Amino acid sequence: MASVEFQNVSKSFGAFVAVPDISFQIADGEFICLLGPSGCGKTTSLRMIAGLETPTSGRVMIGGRDVTYLHPKDRGISMVFQDYALYPHMNIADNIAYPLKVRGEQETKRHARAKEVADVLKIGDLLKRLPSQISGGQQQRTSLARALVYPSEVYLFDEPLSNLDAKLRLEARGFLNHLQRDMGMTAVYVTHDQAEAMALATRIAVMDKGRIVQFAPPIEIYRRPATTFVANFVGNPPMNLVAVEASIGEGALHLSADGLQVAPIELNDAIAKAAKAGKMTLGVRPEHLRVAGPTDHNILSGELFANENMGPESLVTLERGDNGRVTARIFTDDEIKVGTSVHLAFDARHVTLFDDSGARIPAAGER
């Protein structure tokens, strides 16, 4: 196991800048998730760790060693490819055992080991088939097995579970989680499924347009999203963002928007400074909204747009005129009818404020 470090790494394809400038450090034994929308440079970053792409500038270190120009085979890594890249002419057993073959392991031994890993991933009875003769999900697990069949310094996963059905995905996720806790693997895991990132990562790097917007433990990303982009990307459903007018009066912050009622918010320096722009974004998570009662002061109102029952809770979506929609996770059995106006309440401590530029404003009493 080893640490991984990017020092001011950038990557351009011709005139197109895929990754402008990234620096980060991953400690030995960390499980990092790269989370971000399609095309934000996750695969490109991963390929630079693997050595399949040479950075345009900057340095890549693995285990404290500069590997920027080192051949992939000498980096002590293993990788699951987004497109699986199974060898079409080899059967599943030979596919999984190929890394061992390259390492000079004899045939019976490497096939025994391949069978072990395949059994764990529930593809043990497909070993004699060719990749074209198994399903997409099975191909994906074969590719995962091939990456796990030998010990590596760093494991790289490019959306390794994207093609599995919900049940298998949960199982495989649990397996990876167990593996990580068991052997403390250093892993970089690309996904655009935020639930997967939350479940697996020790830290999450949220990426947008080739930059890391926030690099923090999952709970931190969830509780204190650095920008509206992160807030809007993490959480299921993501945080509700309401554009508000901000003003200061009587030593407190006053927010106003159509269908919004907020008790004055305690001031601090950061809030006072951000309020000068006159505009802010108020964020509140769907799980922190409830149907309003007579004593509530913080209220969002609108027409009911949709009411989806999810089993233990319902997803209630309000339409706030022209000001967009708000979704709440409601844990009551109250009947709410489409078209009626609904009032949702939230607590002041669950409010996250973002300034004019979308950056989070530290709340009073923080830091």
Partner 1 sequence: MQKRTQNIFVRRTVFAAAATFLGTVFALPLVWFIFAPFNARAELGLAIPSPFTLSNFATVFENTFAMQALLNSLIQAAGGVVLVGAAATLAAYALSRSPIPGKGAVTYILLLFSSVVSGSAAMVPIFLIISAAGLIDTHLAVILVFAGGLLPTAMFILRDFIDAIPRSYEESAMVAGASPLQAFFDVALPVIRPGIVVVVVWAFVNIWGSFLIPFILLRSDKLMPASVAIYSFYSEAGTPIVTLLAAYSLIYSLPVIALYLFVNWKFGFRFFGGIKS
Q: Applying CB under 8 A, which residues contact partner 1? A: 50-52, 71-73, 77-79, 81-89, 98-99, 101-103, 130-132, 136, 139, 146, 150, 156, 163
Helices (H), 123-207: 136-148, 166-183, 194-200
Residue 13 CB, nearest distance to ligand ATP (Å)?
3
Residue 265's contacts (CB-CB under 8 Å, 6 or more residues apart) are 252, 253, 254, 255, 271, 348, 351, 353, 364
Query: Residue from 13, 69, 87, 331 that binds ligand ATP (CB under 6 A)?
Result: 13
Answer yes or no whether residue 163 interacts with ligand ATP by CB under 6 A.
no
Q: Computed over its alpha carbons, how large is the radius of gyration of the chain?
A: 24
Site string for ligand ATP, 18-57 (x = CB under 6 A): x-----------------x-xxxxxxx-------------
Tell me which of Mg ion, ligand ATP, partner 1, none is bound by residue 41, counting a contact when its beta carbon lies within the kind-specific cut-off of 5 to 8 angstroms: ligand ATP
324 binds ligand ATP (CB under 6 A): no
Select from 113, 192, 211, 224 the one that contacts ligand ATP (CB under 6 A): 192
- Cα separation, 309 vs 333, in Å, equals 10
Residue 137 phi/psi, 5° resolution? -65, -35
Quickly count: other Cβ atoms within 10 Å of residue 270's Cβ.
Answer: 17
Instruction: Encode 287-347 in three state secondary structure.
Output: HHCEECCCCCCCEEEEEEEEEEECCCCEEEEEECCCCCEEEEEECCCCCCCCCCEEEEECC
Give the x/- contact pattern for Mg ion in 56-95, rule: CB under 5 A. --------------------------x-------------
d(CA 253, CA 251): 7
Report the residue number, 43 or 317, with the smaller CB distance to Mg ion.
Answer: 43
| Residues that bind ligand ATP in the complex, under the rule CB under 6 A | 13, 16, 18, 36, 38-44, 82, 192
Which positions touch Mg ion (CB under 5 A)? 43, 82
